[in-house]
Amino acid sequence: MMDFPENPGRFTFDPGALQIGESVKLNEEIEANGYVVHLVGARKISSNELHFEFKSDGYLNGAMLHSSTSNGTSAGVVKDDSFTASLLFSEMPNDQIEVEITRLYYNASGPWSLEFHVAESMFANLPAANPTPAPVAPAAPTFTSQDPLFLEALAFSEKFTDSIVQGPGWVHMVSENTTETMQEGQTYPPPYYQEEQWIEIDPEGWVTRGLLTHWDVDKNILQRSVSVGKHNMNLTTGEAGEFPTYRLSLDWIPPELDYALSHGQTASREETTCEDGSPCLLITVVDTNVARRIWINIETGQQVKIQTSQQIPDGTENILFTQTFLSVERVETPPQDVLDVFSTVLFPAP
């Protein structure tokens, strides 16, 4: 393992160029403290996680990344002469970010002889651990747009969030995700999967536990991760990491719409009907040849569907990705099989 926080490798990347499930091939050589690291790809795994793929070059087997906009990182495993490293975000940036490579893991071999002596006091007279400080509430998002459409969407978003995030309990969310246009070589996520989240919040709205599962069309588990406090573990890949505690927010629309209206993108509204027959507000944001559509239930304020498409030069439209929220609800307690998952992982004390 090599740490070099004072002389990290640096590269830039724009998360806003990818939708959830999309990937892009890259070919960039990054100098990190005298070592050359080959960046070959990136994928937006979810609304708060980016995966970067690097060549192992025969000896590298992992990396730790850092960005001023992220709140966590994890290292993946070597597969087919490459490895991945992840950045976690409480809110995915929509603009270019700078990423630093601050640590590299590598394989080494040689005729070494190791000797060490354990001091008698190694496990005695240890200093008492400092008490864990109370979590600090993140700054409330600052929006700049005063456009009537933005204010309308903000009111709907706050209405729905207030109806769900109130007092201690559990929030259960299920969505189905369809990638109509798969990238060459893409194997994950598949063209269709369901995402299920169980999120426990305390009286102040802080997230205390969470379980995220990806299911395939036959209800087989594709991927599952569990979190307790600031600790997180992917039960499928074995990756573990930490990220700051946070308050649950369902305000998914305002940040994206505020950014679009503040950066010269076109936004429009249309009153239509949801798939269940309820009245819906359809907001369409267009940036060059990419369109983002968001359906909002007018009665509840819930965002019920998101769709990304691309305009082809011949005038046709290519649907890239669709996410449909099947349910977002408050529950007193999850099923026992969900609670049992938390007992399978022993996390450090918060």
In a domain, residue 133? The reply is no
What is the band of 192 on the pLDDT scale with cuts at 50, 70, 90? very high
| Residue 209, CB-side half-sphere exposure with 13 Å CA sphere | 18
State residue 81's pLDDT score. 85
Section 14-26 average pLDDT: 89
Q: What band does 252 get if pLDDT is binned at 50, 70 and 90?
A: confident
Helix or strand holding residue 186 (H, E): none
Q: Is residue 329 part of a domain?
A: yes
d(CA 282, CA 306): 10
pLDDT digits (tens, 9 = 90+) for 49-68: 899 999 988 778 889 898 98
Total structural domains in the chain?
2
Whether residues 79 and 178 share a domain: the answer is no
Query: Could you tell me the pTM of the whole model?
Result: 0.61
What's the pLDDT at 89?
Answer: 87
Q: Is residue 64 part of a domain?
A: yes
**Are residues 101 and 154 located together in one domain of the fold?**
no
Q: What is the pLDDT of residue 141?
A: 64
Find out whether 203 and 43 touch, Cβ atoms under 8 Å: no
The answer to whether 119 and 82 have CB atoms below 8 angstroms apart is no
Please give the average per-residue pLDDT across 328-348, as a whole number: 91
pLDDT of residue 266: 92
Please check whether residues 296 and 184 belong to one and the same domain: yes
Q: Which of 73, 106, 139 finishes a domain?
A: 106
Residue 316 has pLDDT above 70, yes or no: yes
pLDDT at 138 over 60: no
pLDDT at 274 over 80: yes
Residue 119 included in any domain? no
pLDDT confidence band for 280 (50 / 70 / 90): very high
205 lies in which domain range? Answer: 148-342
Q: Which of 53, 81, 106 is the last residue of a domain?
A: 106
Query: What phi-psi label fits residue 326: left (phi over 0), alpha (psi between -120 and 50 degrees) or beta?
Result: alpha
260 falls within a domain? yes
pLDDT for 242 beyond 90? no
Residue that terminates a domain, selected from 106, 139, 161: 106
pLDDT score, position 129? 59
Is 246 part of any domain?
A: yes
